[in-house]
Amino acid sequence: MAIYKYVGRDVLNRRRHGVVEAESLELAREILFNKGIVSVEKLKEHKPFFSKEISFSFLSRVSLKDVAIFTRQLYAMIHAGIPLVQALRIIKEQVKNKTLKQIVEDIAAFIEGGGKFSTALSKYKDIFGELYISMIRAAEEAGTLEETLKRLADYLEKIEKLRGKVKSAMFYPVFVLIIATLIVAGILIFVIPTFQKLYQSLGGQLPLLTELIIKASQILRDYVGWVFLFLVLLIIGFIQGRRFKKFKYITDYLLLKFPIFGELILKSSMANFTRTLSSMVSSGINILTALQISAETANNEVIKEAILKVKSDVEKGISLSTAMVKQKIFPPMVVNMAAIGEEAGNLDEMLGKVADFYEEEVDRTVEGLTSLIEPLMIVFIGGIIGFIIVALYLPIFKIGELIK
């Protein structure tokens, strides 16, 4: 459905202007006539200039945290009795992110011209997401905007916090491995050659470990450019491969099977899924729509496919819990709580409790993972460096045999 900007005159010949939502130009004229605009002087499709440029705003990307703060501020303003447009203009002055500032201004101008809040948000689906827009649309119809904004703010803050914990847990070992790799590469490229020259001047047969280290150093120095190019191409290939659904599904499946980290990803995904579904059901959104949007917000292709299969079964008349049982990815607790919620008529409440449980589980897993990884990484890095040092200094213990 398109948005049209108009200028015209009403039955009293007063000049009017604003926006109208319609499927075509002819329907827009008809809607305006029904609203009392008998003479249309100007009518054209409204395309915000900024929306064309938003995807290029890399340095001023709108994060989930930015949207959560915006939603919390908007809820506080509406709760205080401030009109929506005025609230948006006040928030705009406080927003530091230039992209979001322009978006808020555009939304305020659109609403001021007679458009709906949800329609304005739909221009920025890549920023707010289908869930956010659907809940606002349902709130407009039910007249519960304030309550929905509070629910959205709570939801976004919890999801952002959950993602942050999972990212930090995943980032830490990767960062340590990168640093360890750079240290080892530095030793092999810059330190080993010095010892190699020393041992060559002494002559004699070197111990096997020392020969292996020197050989590794020689290979790395000779092919360092190719090794670097291979790693870059590997990373690029992986990123590009993730654009293909089948490759993404395979890598996500393997990730779920990965020791410790797979469990963390599953728990965080279940928390995300149940929290999303709970928020949408409590807002009065149809269960099929809620499942579709929940699938789209899933960060794992395996879980996304499972949710879509559940949606397909529910569409056929099967209960949510029964449909979940057929998909082995859902833990028994999620299925059982969904069954209780369906039977008691408080599905949103039960799903919310499941989300709380799994968020706590993620906290415990991250804490345990951090405490486990630290000593393992120390042992791992220390072992590698210790191995290199032993290999380098082993000939010194036999220096008498080496000197001719």
Q: Which residues contact residue 374 at a Cβ distance below 8 angstroms, ignoring those fewer than 6 apart?
A: none
- Mean pLDDT of the region 113-135: 88
Residue 37 DSSP SS3 = strand
Give pLDDT tens digits for 154-209: 999 988 888 888 887 778 778 878 888 888 888 888 888 888 777 777 666 777 88
Contact 358, 158 (CB under 8 A): no
DSSP notation for 365-404: HHHHHHHHHHHHHHHHHHHHHHHHHHHHHHHHHTHHHH--
Give pLDDT tens digits for 52-62: 444 434 445 88
Give the strand order in the sheet containing 2-10.
15-22, 2-10, 37-45
**Statement to judge: residues 349 and 402 lie in one domain:** yes
- Mean pLDDT of the region 21-42: 74
**Statement to judge: residues 368 and 252 lie in one domain:** yes
In the predicted model, what is the mean pLDDT of the chain?
84
pLDDT at 24 over 70: no
What is the model's pLDDT at position 130? 85
Q: Which residues contact residue 311 at a Cβ distance below 8 angstroms, ignoring those fewer than 6 apart?
A: 288, 291, 292, 295
User: 30-34, 129-133, 206-210: which range is least confident on average?
Assistant: 30-34
**Statement to judge: residues 36 and 63 lie in one domain:** no
Element (H, E) at 20: strand 15-22
From 289, 284, 281, select the one nearest 140 (Cα to Cα): 284
**Statement to judge: residues 276 and 244 lie in one domain:** yes
Q: What residue numbers bound the domain in which 31 lies?
A: 2-47
Q: What is the rounded distance in angstroms from the CA atom of residue 140 to the CA atom of residue 293? A: 19
- Which among 154, 181, 196 is the end of a domain? 154
**Statement to judge: residues 380 and 289 lie in one domain:** yes
What is the model's pLDDT at position 54? 40
Enter the DSSP assignment of 223. S
Q: What is the pTM of this model?
A: 0.68
Q: What is the rounded distance in angstroms from the CA atom of residue 130 to the CA atom of residue 128? A: 7
**Statement to judge: residues 200 and 64 lie in one domain:** no
What is the model's pLDDT at position 172? 77
Q: What is the CATH number of the domain that holds 193?
A: 1.20.81.30
**Statement to judge: residues 241 and 316 lie in one domain:** yes
- Mean pLDDT of the region 284-289: 88
Give pLDDT tens digits for 209-253: 888 888 888 888 888 888 889 989 998 998 888 888 889 899 999
Q: Angle formed by the axes of helices 347-397 and 192-202, to 10°?
A: 20
pLDDT at 20 over 50: yes
**Statement to judge: residues 118 and 93 lie in one domain:** yes
What is the model's pLDDT at position 39? 78
- Which among 131, 154, 177 is the end of a domain? 154
The confidence band for 91, taking pLDDT boundaries of 50, 70 and 90, is: very high
Instruction: Work out how many domains the chain is built from and give that number.
Output: 3
- Mean pLDDT of the region 140-156: 90
The confidence band for 1, taking pLDDT boundaries of 50, 70 and 90, is: low
- Which among 154, 169, 203 is the end of a domain? 154
**Statement to judge: residues 39 and 94 lie in one domain:** no
**Statement to judge: residues 165 and 144 lie in one domain:** no
Q: What is the percent of the chain where pLDDT is above 70?
A: 92
Contact 106, 117 (CB under 8 A): no
**Statement to judge: residues 364 and 376 lie in one domain:** yes
**Statement to judge: residues 141 and 192 lie in one domain:** no
